[in-house]
A and B are shown apart, each in its own frame.
Chain A
Amino acid sequence: MTTHTTLIIDYGSGNLRSAARAFERVIADEGLRAEVVVSNRAEDVAKADRIVLPGQGAFGDCIDNLRATPGMIEALEEAVLERARPFLGICVGMQLLATRGLEHGNHEGLDWIPGQVTALADHIPAGTLKIPHMGWNEVFVPPDAVKDEQNIVLRSVESWGTQGEHFYFVHSFMFECKDKRHILGAVDYGSAFPAIVGRDNIMGVQFHPEKSQSAGLKLIGDFMRWDP
């Protein structure tokens, strides 16, 4: 058996140490034949078996940095859209999947999952809740979610049921999906909005699995065994 490579893309969006360590911990604990590579090089994307796109800060800065990395967008599209490598976006890395982001301007996203990223403040009554949405909140299956038996991550989400499972969130913007079928998990903060989006081999989480203690490590393990 060969060792698989999980690539965490480093495009200058902040600290990747926590994410890398969380994946390494899961690999060690579960005895997976995998290694974690942190890189900003397009050729590493081409070689990767799984791809993780983290992200911190503003949507515009993140997508600009990603585009500024030579060959990166093309390599990602080839690996994820054509060769269907399992992909996980985290926080702003999830938001970049959208068609566009409306944080400080109007920025084009990857457009892998149709939708737009808008201010949380526009979705909750003024003055009622603190922004950022910061802390632990339950992720649950939306009532009208589409079932995908192949998706091991989703099977975990379903096992949490309507009660949900707690994950750590910190964000001021949210992903508005155009197609409700792409909402795989939801969270309630003033109103229900997407916490997990995805389709086929692509998944994005608004929360931070690398900071969500055992629940987060479990989700990372699910992603590592996911074979879409």
Chain B
Amino acid sequence: MLKTRIIPCLDVDGGRVVKGVNFLDIIDAGDPVAQAKVYNAQGADELCFLDITATHQGRDTILDVVRHVADEVFMPMTVGGGISTIAHIRNLLNAGADKVSINSAAVKNPDFVRDAAEKCGSQCIVVAIDAKAKEDGSAGWEIFTHGGRKGTGIDAVEWAIKMAEYGAGEILLTSMDRDGTKAGFNLPLTRAVADAVSVPVIASGGVGNLQHLVDGVKEGHASAVLAASIFHFGEYTVQEAKEAMREAGIAVRL
């Protein structure tokens, strides 16, 4: 039986992990390889690196991160953040990434997703969607860019369907109104998107406790759950998260 995945996410800035797992036995908390090894040992099903490097010059540092991590841990790795060209995708895949997540570039030019899927294969193209309640107050959810500041007027469910048709192999859905709140996923949004597309949906944004992960799967119908801070700050291990999910009747790899 296919297992529900738990995916810890690490933010990388200029090649260094920020907000990493703060354990005593990690000498260098900014070292992506050390962080990846922790999550590998905890039984994480995949790793996600989000490159938040602001400067153009710093962009290539993510390639070194991917190379070093891929040399040390043998598990699936998704990389996102500022990806807007086929060359950039190829470089990341050649460095050892398995999937790339495309966000703003897809909103700007949907055909980029189609092109990327045709050239690199749908299996490695994840479309990241940041959504929250529509600005005009009408029903449903809207896509936002620029860290949730800029509304696009695009309906989140329709967008997800379109992206899957364009060749996205997976959708990474972030509940923007929940991100950082620790109040749990936006479950109606998650369920609406997960039920609308045939590709797997990863729920993200707002996880504050292990019940939120359970809810994302049971009520949000997500195929995988992604979380950052609950793992970063050592509140829970991936192992504990999986045990909680198993107790709730969700099939996980333990």
Contact = CB atoms under 8 A, between A and B. Distances in A.
Interface of A: 14-15, 17-18, 21-22, 25, 56-58, 127, 129-138, 166, 168-172, 188-189, 208, 210-213, 216-217
A211 B123 contact: no
A14 B93 contact: yes
Interface string B1-32: 11111000000000000000000000000000
B95 interface: yes
B223 A130 contact: yes
B199 A136 contact: no
B45 A136 contact: yes
A57 B1 contact: no
A137 B2 contact: yes
A182 to B, nearest CB: 24
Contacts of A14: 93, 120-121
Nearest to B195: A127
Interface string B219-252: 0000110000000000000000000000000000
A217 B74 contact: yes
Given A134-B123, A134-B170, A166 B74 contact: no
Given A17-B96, A132-B122, A189 B2 contact: yes
Q: Which of the listed residues B74, B169, B198, B224 has the most CB atoms from chain A within 10 Å of its own CB?
A: B74
6 contacts: A57-B120, A127-B198, A131-B198, A135-B5, A170-B169, A217-B74
Given A130-B223, A189-B2, A212 B121 contact: no
Contacts of B124: 56
Interface residues on B, range: 20 to 34
A127 B198 CA distance: 7
A141 to B, nearest CB: 16
A172 B76 CA distance: 17
Nearest to A15: B93
Given A17-B94, A127-B198, A172-B123, A210 B74 contact: yes
B200 A132 contact: yes
B70 interface: yes
Contact of B76 (A130, A166, A211): A211
A57 to B, nearest CB: 4
A57 B121 contact: yes
Contacts of B192: none
Interface string B135-177: 0000000000000000000000000000000000110000000
B75 interface: yes
A132 B94 contact: no
A132 B121 CA distance: 11
Contacts of A212: 74-75
A130 B198 contact: yes
A171 B123 contact: yes
Contacts of B169: 132, 134, 170
Given A21-B70, A131-B199, A213-B40, A136 B93 contact: no
Contacts of B67: 17
Given A17-B70, A17-B95, A170 B123 contact: yes
A36 B223 CA distance: 36
B98 interface: yes
A135 B121 contact: no
